[in-house]
Amino acid sequence: MFGLENTISDEILFAMENQELDFMVSAETGAIVLLNEDSLDNGFDSLEEGADLLSPPAWTSSDGYALMEAFASGVSAPEARLSLSAALSRGRGVFKAFKKALEAFPELERRWFDYKHHAMSKRIAEWYDEARIAHGLERLGPEPDEADDLLSDDFSFRLVGREGWQECLPLFRQGLDEALSTFPEPLVEYEYTALEKEISEGGKEGLVLAIAEAVGGAIAGVAAARKVFVADSSFGKLAYLYVAPEHRRLGLGRRLAEAARERLARDGIPRFIVDLPFVPSGFGSSMAAYGYEAFGPRYIKMTD
């Protein structure tokens, strides 16, 4: 079985991107073997009879479009995000339109190429591990369930104090709008008014913000935790948590909550409670995997 060196990975990546090519990969050398090419350098001449050929990593135009869509959703600059969204709304020629739109934003274009290269290289690495297993060899990459470590590939994380709250306000308002679309307005207004006061004022207790940024620079999620002092004791409280809908179901909310808790623990605050009115019902079960225990239920019944 060949070793997955960078040069081999890049050759496979290039072949994946060219949707007009049909190719296989030599299990012995990693060389690309073209199936719809009659030229002398198609790779067949170097193969021995009965050579072991691998089906290539799966990659379709739908995969490419989904990648562009995911990148565009994480762009923070309004002008760039609008331009990329307009390109994606086209039917025919969407890939060329997206590339053209990026040319007006050189730094964003560089981020896109890095993002695409990383995502496709990750697909190749997963394919390579599956091929190794099929050949009776051990996998080299991380196990598929090691999702927490893989989050760092698609998001950057940082911890800041109350001074970072202003940049989180657009996401806070998005959460407010989402809650208003689901729950009664008086309830939402009551809870969000209390939340905003607790976060923006917060008194002397201090505030810790755990922020996740998508590769395009937009804030994808935020957790706000504060220190609470009672008599001679103290505890930490997760006051707010919100993840943009396009970045959910990745474990991002849990990762942010844990980052905030760990920061408070380093300040000598061992107890940490999560008291949030508007989170998905499955959030609690995912927190149990981190050792959290239930701390009272919340229920609502509406007759209208």
What b-and-e string marks burial along 3-30, b requiring 16 or more CB atoms within 10 Å of the CB?
Answer: ebeeebbebbbebbeeeeeebbbbbeeb
Q: Would you state the pLDDT for residue 146?
A: 45
Contact between 242 and 221 (Cβ < 8 Å): yes
State how beta strands 23-26 and 32-34 pair: antiparallel
Q: Are residues 114 and 204 in the same domain?
A: no
* Percent share of the chain, pLDDT over 90: 33
Q: Are residues 217 and 97 in the same domain?
A: no
The mean pLDDT of 260-281, rounded to a whole number, is: 86
Lowest-confidence range among 47-61, 95-109, 176-190, 286-300?
286-300
* DSSP reduced 3-state for 80: helix
The mean pLDDT of 31-49, rounded to a whole number, is: 63
Q: How many Cβ atoms from other residues are within 10 Å of residue 246's Cβ?
A: 13
Residue 142 has pLDDT above 60, yes or no: no
Q: How many Cβ atoms from other residues are within 10 Å of residue 115's Cβ?
A: 21
Question: Does residue 112 lie in a domain region?
Answer: yes
Whose tokens are 């090419």? That residue is 37
* DSSP reduced 3-state for 52: coil
Question: Does residue 146 lie in a domain region?
Answer: no
Contact between 213 and 156 (Cβ < 8 Å): yes
Q: Would you state the pLDDT for residue 47?
A: 57
- Report H helices in 89-162: 94-102, 106-134, 147-154
The mean pLDDT of 133-150, rounded to a whole number, is: 66
Q: Are residues 51 and 11 in the same domain?
A: yes
Residue 145 has pLDDT above 60, yes or no: no
Distance (Å, rounded) from C-alpha 251 to C-alpha 243? 10
Question: Does residue 293 lie in a domain region?
Answer: no
Q: Would you state the pLDDT for residue 40?
A: 46
Q: Are residues 277 and 185 in the same domain?
A: yes
Question: Does residue 222 lie in a domain region?
Answer: yes
User: Which two three-digit tokens encode residue 134?
Assistant: 């099929």
Distance (Å, rounded) from C-alpha 118 to C-alpha 86? 25
Q: Are residues 63 and 34 in the same domain?
A: yes
CATH number of the domain to which 233 belongs: 3.40.630.30
Question: Does residue 300 lie in a domain region?
Answer: no
Q: Give the residue with greater pLDDT, 202 vs 79.
A: 79
**pTM of the predicted model over 0.95:** no
* DSSP reduced 3-state for 5: coil
Contact between 8 and 2 (Cβ < 8 Å): yes
Contact between 245 and 196 (Cβ < 8 Å): no
Distance (Å, rounded) from C-alpha 273 to C-alpha 268? 15
* DSSP reduced 3-state for 281: coil
Q: Are residues 23 and 97 in the same domain?
A: yes
| Residue that finishes a domain, picked among 141, 173, 193 | 141
CB proximity list for 279: less than 8 A, separation 6 or greater:
241, 253
Q: Over the stretch 121-139, which tens digit does the pLDDT of each residue have?
A: 889 998 999 999 998 888 8
Q: Would you state the pLDDT for residue 177?
A: 94
Structural domain total, the chain: 2
Question: Does residue 179 lie in a domain region?
Answer: yes
Question: Does residue 40 lie in a domain region?
Answer: yes
Question: Does residue 123 lie in a domain region?
Answer: yes
Q: Are residues 78 and 43 in the same domain?
A: yes
Q: Would you state the pLDDT for residue 100?
A: 94
Q: Are residues 136 and 34 in the same domain?
A: yes
Q: Are residues 238 and 258 in the same domain?
A: yes
Q: Would you state the pLDDT for residue 45?
A: 55
Q: Are residues 137 and 4 in the same domain?
A: yes
User: Domain containing 50: what range?
Assistant: 1-141
Q: Over the stretch 273-288, which tens digit does the pLDDT of each residue have?
A: 988 888 776 676 667 7
- Residue 200's Cβ-count burial label (10 Å; 0-12, 13-18, 19+) is middle
Assign 3-state DSSP to the chain and report helix, strand, coil percentages, each to 5: 50, 15, 35
Q: Are residues 126 and 160 in the same domain?
A: no
* DSSP reduced 3-state for 63: helix
Q: Are residues 33 and 73 in the same domain?
A: yes
Q: How many helices (H) and strands (E) does the chain have?
A: 10, 8
How does DSSP classify residue 171? Answer: H
Lowest-confidence range among 2-16, 162-176, 280-294?
280-294
